[in-house]
Structure 1
Amino acid sequence: MTVKKKAIVISLAVSILLMLAKFVAFFITGSNAILTDAAESIVNVIAGSFAFYSIYLSTQPRDENHPYGHGKVEFFSAFVEGILILIAGVIIIFKSSYNLIYPHVVGKLLEGTLIIGVTGLVNMVVGLYLIKVGKKEHSVTLQADGAHLLTDTYTSAGIVVGLILIQVTNIIWLDSLISILVGFYIVYTGYKLTRGSVGGLMDESDFTLVEEVVEVLQNNRHNPWIDVHNLRTQQYGPEFHIDCHVTLPYYFDLNQVHREISQIDELINKSGVRKAELFIHADPCLPKCCHYCHMSKCPVRAEAFKKEIVWTPEIVIKNKKHFENELL
């Protein structure tokens, strides 16, 4: 079993046990706030089941119908999880609003508080574990599931504080008010997960990856690499794809061009940057490139070297050679 599959199985098993514990707490107390936490646990179980399937699918090898692999399903999994959280939050807000107007008696709050407190601590440990594994394995699904469990931890903490206040003040309507506040927080969390997953499905560029790539290229640039531009990134589950254009001396033959491009690929994948598949397009230099070109023995130089252009993410993502950026 892979590390990712092991992590999501642990998450699913823990979610089921904690859901049962929270419903026990609800049945012995009748607390709306505890019901809120229990209802969110149902979402945890459903989302965990879907996440398990998406992890399984994302690890399948590429085939004729999926030349980039199956990794995009992880973004879809995070999207579904976000939608489920949103729905759960809205339902919680409506139900708690009703009970705020028509309050009901709650009891045995001490026992319920202890159960919710323990489940919150367990969720925190598992959530942090999932996020750690997700970042290491570059799994959007595991990070989303971990963030969801941490959200559950925060809501449990808020509910524990609220239940203690109810026991101290004996103000019953605080139960529904706390539940409503927690519901809004759950909706906000669902929105963030949904927004992030939609960005992945729409191939939003990973700016952090762009920064890592540019830093490696700038710190290890070779003289023939006159400029790098039109750099784009995409993520397919744990796999990353990088497209860019590299300006090389126009008199290089095909073997020299291939060697320089291969060196860039090797540099990116062996310098601490996340493993990626690169598609590099070679552009020929123009006379206007001479004033920032480092080729000291260039046989066709039209102008003396003046100043190096430091590569930054803002420069390399533009689809134009650097002399067109009017940086000098």
Structure 2
Amino acid sequence: MLTEFILGEQKRIILISLITGVVLMLAKFSAYFITSSNFILTDAAESIVNVVASSFAFFSIYLSALPRDENHPYGHGKVEYFSVFLEGGLIVIAGGIIVIKSVYGLLNPEPVRDLITGTIIIAVTGLINGCLGYYLINKGKQLRSITLEADGKHLLTDMVTSGALVIGLLVIYFTGILWLDSALSGLAALYIIFSGYKLVRRSVAGLMDETDFGVVTNILEVLNEKRKEEWIDIHNLRAQKYGSELHIDCHLTLPNYFDLNRVHEEVSLVDKMINKEAGVKTELFIHSDPCLPECCHYCSMPNCPIRSEAKRIDIEWTLDKVMRNKKHFE
């Protein structure tokens, strides 16, 4: 039920973003046709990306909500990374086209008109995008949705671009220097390309299963805080993100005299604790290892019937230690 609520909330938010994007796109192109400003065209062209990206984001959230099947045993959550990749790629392409048009405008400057009207339109659209962007980012963090976060950051980039655009248009209006229109347009396009690159980089990281150190560090904080004496060590930990879900597999070392029922109980406790305390829905695959005599010097298990030496040290579970494929022998 919780997952269905989250996905429904994501679709509702993306739909709001899509409808708003269409309205703002029409407003920006109206400003361009009124002014004939390449600088305003920069913002208008990026708004097309907003609409296309939001459309694909809506589809990707629908697809990620589909249940697992034989072809997708981990679900369809990774489609969100394709959504982010598309958004970033379109931003880079739009920025490149605007750079080319800006260079042409510098070589063949054209007069602009009604700049104050165009400036007011752009200022209003930028303010709306900024408010919507902050809303999407906050909701994306709450719902653990990379798609909402990416869309929100894109809209914040659009707000920054619009702010620079308003300042630039006012400078052009008061100075009358026409070539500034194309020059500022080119600079804004370079910023747009950089923001698109960052989105592409993030999507590729997700598709390549790059470790999300922030998420893993948060989980380790929970494990260290709630650690039980029976949990001797954790190692060979790996994490993958699939949409809003996290998948973790690791090895958990337990006393070798525990029977199968006790082992299952301890493994289940780790699973429940992470899902309750870490703030992200997590599927865990935990392989249980029996302890060895070499574990005794850092084992906290009281009244152990097989202890070969007294405990000498405490070992904190850190990224460096838990990601290695070996017990914490020192």
Q: TM-score, structure 1 length as denominator?
A: 0.97
Corresponding position: 1:198 with 2:204: yes
Cα drift, residue 13 of structure 1: 0.5
Q: What residue is the counterpart of 1:295 in the other structure?
A: 301
- What SS does the aligned partner of 2:283 have? strand
Match of 1:49 in 2: 55
Partner-residue secondary structure (3-state), 2:277: coil
Query: 1:231 deviation in Å?
Result: 1.2
Residue 182 in 1 paired to residue 185 in 2?
no
Task: Give the match for residue 316 of structure 2.
Answer: 310
What percentage of residue pairs aligned between the two structures are identical?
Answer: 61
TM-superposition CA deviations, 1:145-184 (whole Å, max 9, x none) = 1111111111111110000111121111111111001000
Q: Supply the AA of the counterpart residue of 1:189.
A: S
**Counterpart in 2 of 1:92?**
98
Q: Give unmatched runs, 5+ long, in structure 2.
A: 1-6
CA deviations on 1:73-96 (whole Å, 9 max, x unpaired) are: 000110011110000011111110
> Is the 8 Å Cα contact of residues 212 and 273 (structure 1) preserved in structure 2?
no
* Matching of residues 105-184 of structure 1 within 5 Å: 105-184=111-190
Which residue does 1:39 correspond to in 2?
Answer: 45
Give the deviation of 1:64 after TM superposition. Answer: 2.2
User: What is the aligned length?
Assistant: 324
- Equivalence for 2:16: 10
In structure 1, what residue type is equivalent to 2:153?
A
Corresponding residue of 2:230: 224
CA distance in 1 between partners of 2:195 and 2:323 (Å): 31
In the TM superposition, what is the alpha-carbon distance from 1:243 to its structure 2 partner? 1.0
Moved over 6 A (4+): none
| Greater alpha carbon shift after TM alignment, 287-296 vs 111-120 | 287-296
Q: What's the CA shift for 1:314?
A: 2.1
How far apart, CA to CA, are the structure 1 residues paired with 2:236 and 2:78? 23
Give CA deviations for 1:189-225 in whole Å, capped at 9, x if unaligned.
Answer: 1100000001101111111111111111111111111
Letter paired with 1:66: H
For the 8 Å contact 2:38–2:181, the answer to whether it is kept is: yes
Q: Distance in 2 between matches of 1:217 and 1:47?
A: 38
Q: CA RMSD in A?
A: 1.1
Structure 1: gaps spanning 5 or more residues: none
**Aligned runs of 1:266-285 on 2, under 5 Å?**
266-285=272-291
Higher mean displacement: 270-279 or 217-226:
270-279
- Which amino acid in the other structure matches residue 288 of structure 1? E
* More displaced 10-residue stretch of structure 1: 203-212 or 79-88: 203-212
